[in-house]
Amino acid sequence: MEALIAVLPGDGIGPEVARAGSAVLQAVADKFGHKFELVESAIGGDAIDQHNDPLPKDTIAKCRDSNAVLLGAVGGPKWSDPNAEVRPEQGLLRLRAELEVFANLRPIQIHPALVGASPLRPELLQNVDMIVVRELTGGIYFGEKTRDENSASDLCVYHTHEIERIVRVAANLAAQRKNRLCSVDKANVLETSRLWRAVTAQVVTEEFTEIDLEVLLVDAAAMHLLSRPADFDVIVTENMFGDILTDEASMLAGSLGMLPSASIGSGTRGLYEPIHGSAPDIAGRGIANPCGTIASAALLLRHSLGLDDEAIAIEDALAKLIENGARTADIATPNEKTLTTDEMTASLLQILN
């Protein structure tokens, strides 16, 4: 198969991990007889420096022309002034809106060899295997924003159709797994959450009668993610809650650097990125963990290109890599030898090939 893949390295460790993801995609193409054209474009702070725009028109055009988009990370202290009119994160939000990717999928699994990397007790991590489905293009991140000398506001808005479509994505995933869906909201306080709860119940009751629906307030969900994580299967929630909860859940896996994400819409084109940020404190040191980006490349193959065998090949190689003891600094115990980003990638490519 032939495919055009837009690669947006971005800022901080973004170029380092994006390079790893690109190398793995090219290796898969070579191994399975595909032709992938990888085209790089600027986003975030890098794009601000070059074009004074965190998402230049050329980047948008290349992403729209592509079959899928692989993203590194955006942001950093150089562009972190909250009063600045142009900021890196604006580019990422605009990209999600431009591509109409409203569903962010974040799978969380625990490799047995990394149980010691998590701050949780080992017995709590047994059988943890969940997917968080985060609504990505609505809510407080996209609402009207105002600020004057003495006050500021961020408007949180959700419409029925936005909730319906994200719940259908989550319920369909649950139907392919254990028929269990947990919806997270703050319906005791927020009107948007009351609408969320009502619409979710209606969609599940009318369209997914086999699904067992659990409803949790977001504060309770945060607690239960750490006290009974193995009880969750598919979680669906709104934009900001999903952002916070998935970063919390990354501690189950031991590091933000291990976890991938897929942002999809109604078509096949998606946006794929590790859930971590640009980590400017370690940028340029060659110690970033590429596993989250490599796992995101596997999701790209599965969801946008329909290449499930190729995705499984990457995921199996990642599992064997960890089983063999390969570690970057973020997942290593004090006595374990650590590999650089490039060494970790090269070790995986050896397994994959």
pLDDT in tens, 159-213: 999 999 999 999 999 999 999 999 999 999 999 999 999 999 999 999 999 999 9
Q: Is 141 a catalytic residue?
A: yes
Catalytic pick among 65, 81, 219, 309: 219
> Which amino acid belongs to residue 50?
Q
Q: Is 243 a catalytic residue?
A: yes
Q: Is 316 a catalytic residue?
A: no
Catalytic pick among 53, 129, 154, 243: 243
pLDDT score for 297: 98
Residue pair 273/10 in contact (Cβ under 8 Å)? The answer is: no
Mean pLDDT computed over 114-130: 91
- Is residue 114 a part of any domain in this protein? no
Q: Work out how many domains the chain is built from and give that number.
A: 2
Catalytic pick among 11, 62, 141, 330: 141
As a whole number, the mean pLDDT across the chain is 96
pLDDT at 19 over 90: yes
Catalytic pick among 11, 46, 158, 186: 186
Confidence of residue 117 (pLDDT cuts 50, 70, 90): confident
Instruction: Judge if 219 and 100 occupy the same domain.
Output: no
Question: 55 lies in which domain range?
Answer: 1-106+256-353
pLDDT score for 333: 86
Look-up of token digits 């990125």: 273
Q: Where does residue 224 rank: exposed (0-12), middle (13-18), buried (19+ CB within 10 A)?
A: middle
CA-to-CA distance for 140 and 142, rounded, in angstroms? 5
Catalytic pick among 129, 231, 247, 342: 247
Backbone dihedral region for residue 254 (phi beyond 0: left; psi -120 to 50: alpha; all else: beta)? left
pLDDT score for 329: 94
Instruction: Judge if 128 and 244 occupy the same domain.
Output: yes
Instruction: Judge if 95 and 149 occupy the same domain.
Output: no
Mean pLDDT computed over 136-164: 96
List of residues 6+ apart from 194 with CB closer than 8 A: 185, 187
CA-to-CA distance for 210 and 156, rounded, in angstroms? 32
CA-to-CA distance for 252 and 115, rounded, in angstroms? 8
pLDDT at 1 over 90: yes
Confidence of residue 102 (pLDDT cuts 50, 70, 90): very high
Instruction: Encode pLDDT of 45-87 as tens digits.
Output: 999 999 999 999 999 999 999 999 999 999 999 998 878 889 9
Q: Is 219 a catalytic residue?
A: yes
Q: Is 272 a catalytic residue?
A: no
- Is residue 112 a part of any domain in this protein? no
From 223, 253, 283, the end of a domain falls on 253
- Is residue 148 a part of any domain in this protein? yes
Instruction: Encode pLDDT of 262-316 as tens digits.
Output: 999 999 999 999 999 999 999 999 999 999 999 999 999 999 999 999 999 999 9
> Which amino acid belongs to residue 180?
R
